[in-house]
Structure 1
């Protein structure tokens, strides 16, 4: 008990001495340069160094997309690293039949990014059930964000698919 009381009595003086030893930094000290701190990023630019066999959306218009330097008109279906012409011309034409390729493609993509055109649309529950039955998750967004999301997930090495209507399509 006496040892504990002695320790408790010396604790405040120990704290005071520690406070005196640690001097505060000057208030106007410059922060370290973020450029120097992250210089490794400057040397490894993943976005510009995409492998030739990997799809990358580079642009979009109201009528199509630019993928790996090639301009595509109309809707696109991207499975693996293969862009395919896709038949739907408006959101209401997207059905289980137009996405039936996902019943046979292997490996099954973990996610299908559905580009709805200019605006995000509500996906029919029956179509949602069909997509879930294939083992994929569904993300429905406008086509501009769908292309961007596809790029990010594909660059991460994820198995991803995209079904995109041109950006100019609206309901």
Structure 2
């Protein structure tokens, strides 16, 4: 038994060396970082073959948006697939009066996405109460992420509304 163990111990290093020579070397190429491989917000439009009459935000700038290939300056209000200019130029100008259209719109959108400009802003209780009184939920985001969220929900066929200040707006 002792002789057998010595033989194994003596041949084991040679066996390991020969196996290392026969095995191909792994590819030493550096793998790309996955950190920036995909970001939901880098590409606003995620789904192709969306109907032509459906609004899609394709780009945003500091002063406006590109929707279905058309450039729009200033603030925008979207209800379903209806797009219109919107008066507020800064977040403090967003009031129940500026959103009063939602008292008459039917069907009532299930959610209102509020794009605050460059940064997310706190919504005053009066405005939150008004939005709840219409039957909508409220999602407050910076305008970049708000446009992406609007696209996704609209492409899913959900009844969604959005109010966007240009991305360059900050308090």
TM-score band by shorter chain is 0.7 to 0.9
Report the Cα distance in structure 1 between the residues aligned to 2:140 and 2:119, rounded to whole angstroms: 10
Q: Which residue of 1 aligns with 2:163?
A: 163
Q: Secondary structure at the match of 1:162?
A: strand
Q: Which residue of 1 aligns with 2:66?
A: 66
Report the Cα distance in structure 2 between the residues aligned to 1:70 and 1:50, rounded to whole angstroms: 16
Q: Which runs of 4+ in 1 moved over 3 A?
A: none
Q: Which residue of 1 aligns with 2:42?
A: none
For structure 2, the 5+ residue unaligned runs are 1-45
RMSD: 0.7
Q: Which residue of 1 aligns with 2:111?
A: 111
Instruction: Map 1:1-171 onto structure 2 (within 5 A).
Output: 47-171=47-171
Using the size of structure 1 for normalisation, the TM-score is 0.73
Q: CA deviation at 1:71?
A: 0.4
Q: Which residue of 2 aligns with 1:13?
A: none
Q: CA deviation at 1:80?
A: 1.4
After superposition, give the CA deviation of every residue in 1:65-93 in whole Å (9 maximum; x if it has no partner).
00000000000000110110000000000
Q: CA deviation at 1:48?
A: 1.6
Using the size of structure 2 for normalisation, the TM-score is 0.73
Q: Secondary structure at the match of 1:146?
A: helix
For structure 1, the 5+ residue unaligned runs are 1-45
Report the Cα distance in structure 2 between the residues aligned to 1:47 and 1:83, rounded to whole angstroms: 20
